[in-house]
Amino acid sequence: MRHLKILLASVVGVWLLAACTAIDIDKTRGLSSKGTAFQKALHVEYAQIAFGEDDEGDPKNAVFFDKKAQAAAQGKGVQPQAIKARNLPGNKVGELKTARTKLLAALDSGAREKAPKHAARAQVMFDCWMEEQEEDFQPKDIARCRSAFEEALAAAEQALVPAPMAAKPAPKKKVVPPPPPPRDYVVYFDTDSTEFDAAAEAVIKKAVADYKSRKKAKVAVVGHTDTVGKNDYNKTLSDKRADAVVIRLVRMGVSGKKLKKDRFGEKSPAVATGDDKDERKNRRVNIRISN
Protein backbone atom coordinates (compact mmCIF):
# COMPACT_ATOMS: atom_id res chain seq x y z
CA MET A 1 0.00 0.00 0.00
CA ARG A 2 2.85 2.34 0.90
CA HIS A 3 4.45 1.63 -2.48
CA LEU A 4 1.16 2.38 -4.24
CA LYS A 5 0.90 5.75 -2.51
CA ILE A 6 4.45 6.63 -3.49
CA LEU A 7 3.71 5.68 -7.10
CA LEU A 8 0.51 7.71 -7.14
CA ALA A 9 2.31 10.69 -5.62
CA SER A 10 5.00 10.47 -8.26
CA VAL A 11 2.45 10.33 -11.07
CA VAL A 12 0.52 13.27 -9.64
CA GLY A 13 3.78 15.22 -9.20
CA VAL A 14 4.77 14.68 -12.79
CA TRP A 15 1.25 15.61 -13.94
CA LEU A 16 1.31 18.79 -11.83
CA LEU A 17 4.77 19.76 -13.13
CA ALA A 18 3.63 19.19 -16.70
CA ALA A 19 0.51 21.26 -16.08
CA CYS A 20 2.53 24.11 -14.60
CA THR A 21 4.95 23.88 -17.48
CA ALA A 22 2.11 24.11 -20.01
CA ILE A 23 0.85 27.25 -18.34
CA ASP A 24 4.32 28.82 -18.40
CA ILE A 25 4.80 27.91 -22.04
CA ASP A 26 1.49 29.44 -23.02
CA LYS A 27 2.54 32.59 -21.21
CA THR A 28 5.94 32.52 -22.93
CA ARG A 29 4.40 32.14 -26.34
CA GLY A 30 2.29 35.23 -25.72
CA LEU A 31 5.18 37.44 -24.62
CA SER A 32 5.91 40.60 -26.59
CA SER A 33 9.45 40.35 -27.95
CA LYS A 34 11.71 43.30 -27.19
CA GLY A 35 14.84 42.23 -29.05
CA THR A 36 16.15 42.16 -32.58
CA ALA A 37 14.58 40.30 -35.48
CA PHE A 38 16.87 37.37 -34.65
CA GLN A 39 15.83 37.36 -30.97
CA LYS A 40 12.17 37.59 -31.93
CA ALA A 41 12.59 34.59 -34.20
CA LEU A 42 14.41 32.70 -31.41
CA HIS A 43 11.52 33.46 -29.09
CA VAL A 44 9.02 31.93 -31.50
CA GLU A 45 11.17 28.89 -32.35
CA TYR A 46 12.16 28.05 -28.75
CA ALA A 47 8.57 28.49 -27.53
CA GLN A 48 7.37 26.15 -30.26
CA ILE A 49 9.85 23.41 -29.41
CA ALA A 50 9.11 23.85 -25.70
CA PHE A 51 5.44 23.32 -26.43
CA GLY A 52 6.29 20.17 -28.39
CA GLU A 53 8.40 18.74 -25.57
CA ASP A 54 5.68 19.48 -23.05
CA ASP A 55 3.12 17.84 -25.31
CA GLU A 56 5.32 14.71 -25.44
CA GLY A 57 5.50 14.60 -21.64
CA ASP A 58 9.09 15.81 -21.29
CA PRO A 59 8.78 18.59 -18.67
CA LYS A 60 12.53 18.91 -18.11
CA ASN A 61 13.34 19.82 -21.71
CA ALA A 62 10.10 21.78 -22.03
CA VAL A 63 11.25 24.04 -19.18
CA PHE A 64 14.76 24.26 -20.69
CA PHE A 65 13.49 25.51 -24.05
CA ASP A 66 10.85 27.67 -22.37
CA LYS A 67 13.53 29.56 -20.44
CA LYS A 68 15.51 30.16 -23.63
CA ALA A 69 12.34 31.46 -25.30
CA GLN A 70 11.73 33.86 -22.41
CA ALA A 71 15.32 35.13 -22.49
CA ALA A 72 15.11 35.75 -26.24
CA ALA A 73 11.80 37.60 -25.81
CA GLN A 74 13.47 39.85 -23.23
CA GLY A 75 16.21 40.75 -25.70
CA LYS A 76 18.92 38.77 -23.94
CA GLY A 77 21.76 37.03 -25.71
CA VAL A 78 20.91 33.35 -26.16
CA GLN A 79 23.61 31.01 -27.44
CA PRO A 80 23.32 27.50 -28.89
CA GLN A 81 23.74 24.88 -26.19
CA ALA A 82 27.29 23.84 -25.32
CA ILE A 83 28.37 20.33 -26.26
CA LYS A 84 29.31 19.49 -22.65
CA ALA A 85 25.83 20.45 -21.45
CA ARG A 86 24.42 17.17 -22.80
CA ASN A 87 25.37 13.58 -22.06
CA LEU A 88 25.91 12.67 -25.72
CA PRO A 89 26.87 9.32 -27.20
CA GLY A 90 30.62 9.30 -27.74
CA ASN A 91 30.38 8.58 -31.44
CA LYS A 92 28.12 11.63 -31.99
CA VAL A 93 30.18 14.28 -30.22
CA GLY A 94 32.48 14.97 -33.19
CA GLU A 95 29.77 15.75 -35.72
CA LEU A 96 27.83 17.89 -33.23
CA LYS A 97 31.00 19.84 -32.41
CA THR A 98 31.55 20.45 -36.11
CA ALA A 99 27.92 21.50 -36.57
CA ARG A 100 28.10 23.93 -33.64
CA THR A 101 31.32 25.44 -34.97
CA LYS A 102 29.71 26.04 -38.35
CA LEU A 103 26.64 27.52 -36.70
CA LEU A 104 28.65 29.95 -34.56
CA ALA A 105 30.75 30.94 -37.59
CA ALA A 106 27.60 31.84 -39.53
CA LEU A 107 26.06 33.69 -36.58
CA ASP A 108 29.23 35.67 -35.89
CA SER A 109 29.64 36.50 -39.58
CA GLY A 110 26.34 38.37 -39.67
CA ALA A 111 23.66 35.73 -40.16
CA ARG A 112 21.74 37.11 -37.18
CA GLU A 113 21.32 40.38 -39.05
CA LYS A 114 21.19 39.24 -42.67
CA ALA A 115 19.02 36.14 -42.24
CA PRO A 116 17.46 36.35 -38.76
CA LYS A 117 14.73 33.73 -39.29
CA HIS A 118 17.04 31.15 -40.87
CA ALA A 119 19.74 31.82 -38.27
CA ALA A 120 17.29 31.48 -35.37
CA ARG A 121 15.84 28.25 -36.73
CA ALA A 122 19.33 26.82 -37.26
CA GLN A 123 20.22 27.55 -33.63
CA VAL A 124 17.01 26.12 -32.20
CA MET A 125 17.18 23.02 -34.41
CA PHE A 126 20.77 22.47 -33.29
CA ASP A 127 19.58 22.49 -29.68
CA CYS A 128 16.77 20.14 -30.72
CA TRP A 129 19.29 17.81 -32.34
CA MET A 130 21.41 17.89 -29.17
CA GLU A 131 18.41 17.06 -26.99
CA GLU A 132 17.18 14.21 -29.20
CA GLN A 133 20.69 12.83 -29.58
CA GLU A 134 21.13 12.74 -25.81
CA GLU A 135 17.97 10.66 -25.45
CA ASP A 136 19.14 8.55 -28.40
CA PHE A 137 16.07 6.39 -28.79
CA GLN A 138 14.00 8.18 -31.46
CA PRO A 139 15.99 8.05 -34.72
CA LYS A 140 13.27 9.80 -36.70
CA ASP A 141 13.23 12.75 -34.29
CA ILE A 142 17.02 12.95 -34.35
CA ALA A 143 16.99 12.95 -38.14
CA ARG A 144 14.19 15.53 -38.22
CA CYS A 145 16.06 18.01 -35.99
CA ARG A 146 19.36 17.45 -37.78
CA SER A 147 17.81 17.89 -41.22
CA ALA A 148 16.00 21.07 -40.15
CA PHE A 149 19.25 22.41 -38.69
CA GLU A 150 21.24 21.73 -41.86
CA GLU A 151 18.57 23.24 -44.09
CA ALA A 152 18.30 26.42 -42.00
CA LEU A 153 22.08 26.77 -41.66
CA ALA A 154 22.52 26.42 -45.42
CA ALA A 155 19.98 29.18 -46.01
CA ALA A 156 21.69 31.42 -43.43
CA GLU A 157 25.11 30.81 -44.99
CA GLN A 158 23.74 31.56 -48.43
CA ALA A 159 22.57 34.95 -47.19
CA LEU A 160 26.18 35.73 -46.27
CA VAL A 161 27.50 35.12 -49.79
CA PRO A 162 28.19 38.51 -51.39
CA ALA A 163 26.06 39.24 -54.39
CA PRO A 164 28.11 39.17 -57.58
CA MET A 165 29.18 42.59 -58.65
CA ALA A 166 27.47 43.75 -61.77
CA ALA A 167 29.89 44.05 -64.62
CA LYS A 168 30.68 47.64 -65.33
CA PRO A 169 29.50 48.61 -68.77
CA ALA A 170 32.29 49.43 -71.14
CA PRO A 171 32.78 53.17 -71.31
CA LYS A 172 31.02 54.61 -74.26
CA LYS A 173 33.41 55.84 -76.83
CA LYS A 174 32.70 59.35 -77.82
CA VAL A 175 31.75 59.28 -81.45
CA VAL A 176 33.39 62.17 -83.17
CA PRO A 177 31.67 62.88 -86.46
CA PRO A 178 34.05 63.30 -89.38
CA PRO A 179 34.65 66.88 -90.43
CA PRO A 180 32.64 68.08 -93.41
CA PRO A 181 34.50 67.89 -96.70
CA PRO A 182 36.08 71.00 -98.22
CA ARG A 183 33.78 73.19 -100.26
CA ASP A 184 34.65 75.54 -103.09
CA TYR A 185 32.98 78.84 -103.89
CA VAL A 186 33.68 80.97 -106.96
CA VAL A 187 33.28 84.74 -107.19
CA TYR A 188 33.21 86.07 -110.78
CA PHE A 189 34.23 89.55 -111.93
CA ASP A 190 33.61 91.79 -114.90
CA THR A 191 36.51 92.62 -117.25
CA ASP A 192 39.33 94.51 -115.55
CA SER A 193 37.22 94.85 -112.37
CA THR A 194 37.49 94.05 -108.65
CA GLU A 195 33.91 95.02 -107.83
CA PHE A 196 31.26 92.59 -106.58
CA ASP A 197 27.93 92.24 -108.26
CA ALA A 198 24.84 90.77 -106.54
CA ALA A 199 25.75 87.23 -107.52
CA ALA A 200 29.27 87.65 -106.08
CA GLU A 201 27.86 89.01 -102.82
CA ALA A 202 25.57 85.98 -102.50
CA VAL A 203 28.49 83.58 -103.03
CA ILE A 204 30.60 85.31 -100.39
CA LYS A 205 27.73 85.12 -97.87
CA LYS A 206 27.46 81.36 -98.45
CA ALA A 207 31.20 80.95 -97.96
CA VAL A 208 31.08 82.88 -94.68
CA ALA A 209 28.14 80.80 -93.42
CA ASP A 210 30.06 77.63 -94.24
CA TYR A 211 33.11 78.95 -92.39
CA LYS A 212 31.07 79.77 -89.28
CA SER A 213 29.44 76.31 -89.24
CA ARG A 214 32.82 74.59 -88.78
CA LYS A 215 34.77 74.41 -85.54
CA LYS A 216 38.23 74.64 -87.06
CA ALA A 217 37.71 76.15 -90.46
CA LYS A 218 40.44 77.34 -92.77
CA VAL A 219 39.98 79.60 -95.78
CA ALA A 220 42.05 79.69 -98.94
CA VAL A 221 41.52 82.57 -101.37
CA VAL A 222 43.09 82.47 -104.87
CA GLY A 223 42.75 85.20 -107.49
CA HIS A 224 42.64 84.65 -111.30
CA THR A 225 42.17 86.56 -114.59
CA ASP A 226 41.44 85.74 -118.18
CA THR A 227 44.11 86.14 -120.87
CA VAL A 228 43.18 89.67 -121.92
CA GLY A 229 46.12 92.01 -121.23
CA LYS A 230 49.71 91.49 -120.28
CA ASN A 231 50.82 88.75 -117.94
CA ASP A 232 52.32 91.07 -115.28
CA TYR A 233 49.24 93.24 -115.26
CA ASN A 234 47.03 90.20 -114.82
CA LYS A 235 49.10 88.99 -111.87
CA THR A 236 48.51 92.29 -110.15
CA LEU A 237 44.82 92.26 -111.05
CA SER A 238 44.37 88.74 -109.69
CA ASP A 239 46.10 89.83 -106.47
CA LYS A 240 43.75 92.81 -106.13
CA ARG A 241 40.71 90.59 -106.67
CA ALA A 242 41.94 88.18 -103.96
CA ASP A 243 42.52 91.14 -101.61
CA ALA A 244 38.98 92.42 -102.23
CA VAL A 245 37.52 89.03 -101.30
CA VAL A 246 39.73 88.71 -98.21
CA ILE A 247 38.68 92.16 -96.95
CA ARG A 248 35.02 91.30 -97.44
CA LEU A 249 35.40 87.94 -95.66
CA VAL A 250 37.12 89.52 -92.66
CA ARG A 251 34.44 92.21 -92.40
CA MET A 252 31.84 89.46 -92.32
CA GLY A 253 33.49 87.58 -89.43
CA VAL A 254 36.25 85.40 -90.87
CA SER A 255 39.42 85.45 -88.78
CA GLY A 256 42.41 86.84 -90.64
CA LYS A 257 44.54 84.17 -88.96
CA LYS A 258 42.50 81.51 -90.71
CA LEU A 259 43.00 83.03 -94.17
CA LYS A 260 45.57 82.11 -96.79
CA LYS A 261 45.79 84.14 -99.97
CA ASP A 262 47.41 83.48 -103.34
CA ARG A 263 47.14 84.68 -106.97
CA PHE A 264 47.94 83.16 -110.35
CA GLY A 265 47.02 85.83 -112.86
CA GLU A 266 46.17 84.15 -116.15
CA LYS A 267 48.31 81.04 -115.54
CA SER A 268 45.58 78.75 -114.12
CA PRO A 269 42.43 79.24 -116.19
CA ALA A 270 39.20 77.43 -115.47
CA VAL A 271 38.59 77.32 -119.21
CA ALA A 272 41.55 76.92 -121.54
CA THR A 273 41.66 79.68 -124.17
CA GLY A 274 44.15 81.30 -126.46
CA ASP A 275 45.95 84.52 -125.59
CA ASP A 276 43.97 87.76 -125.27
CA LYS A 277 40.62 85.95 -124.92
CA ASP A 278 37.76 87.44 -122.86
CA GLU A 279 36.36 84.61 -120.70
CA ARG A 280 34.19 85.36 -117.65
CA LYS A 281 34.77 81.94 -116.05
CA ASN A 282 38.48 82.77 -115.86
CA ARG A 283 37.91 86.16 -114.20
CA ARG A 284 37.39 84.76 -110.75
CA VAL A 285 38.47 84.26 -107.14
CA ASN A 286 38.28 80.73 -105.77
CA ILE A 287 37.34 80.38 -102.10
CA ARG A 288 37.94 77.01 -100.42
CA ILE A 289 36.53 76.37 -96.91
CA SER A 290 38.02 73.36 -95.16
CA ASN A 291 38.86 71.99 -91.70
Domain termination site, one of 160, 175, 192: 160
- Nearest by Cα to 75 from 116, 119, 42: 42
Average pLDDT, integer, range 131-135: 95
Q: What is the pLDDT of residue 172?
A: 86
CATH number for the domain spanning 269: value is: 3.30.1330.60
Q: Say whether both 212 and 138 belong to one domain.
A: no
- Residue 267 inside a domain? The answer is yes
Count other C-beta atoms under 10 Å from residue 258's C-beta: 16
**Residue 15 — very low, low, confident or very high, per pLDDT cuts 50/70/90?**
very low
With 0-12 / 13-18 / 19 or more C-beta atoms within 10 angstroms meaning exposed / middle / buried, residue 88 is middle
Average pLDDT, integer, range 45-61: 92
Residues 6+ apart with CB under 8 A from 229: 192, 237, 276
Q: Say whether both 197 and 103 belong to one domain.
A: no
Predicted structure pTM score: 0.54
With 0-12 / 13-18 / 19 or more C-beta atoms within 10 angstroms meaning exposed / middle / buried, residue 92 is middle
Domain interval for residue 48 = 17-160
Domain termination site, one of 102, 127, 160: 160
Query: Which pLDDT tens digit goes with each residue over 254-278?
Result: 999 999 999 999 999 999 999 999 9
Q: Say whether both 150 and 281 belong to one domain.
A: no
- Coil/strand/helix, residue 220: strand
- Residue 156 inside a domain? The answer is yes
Beta pairing, strands 284-290 & 183-188: antiparallel
Q: Say whether both 187 and 142 belong to one domain.
A: no
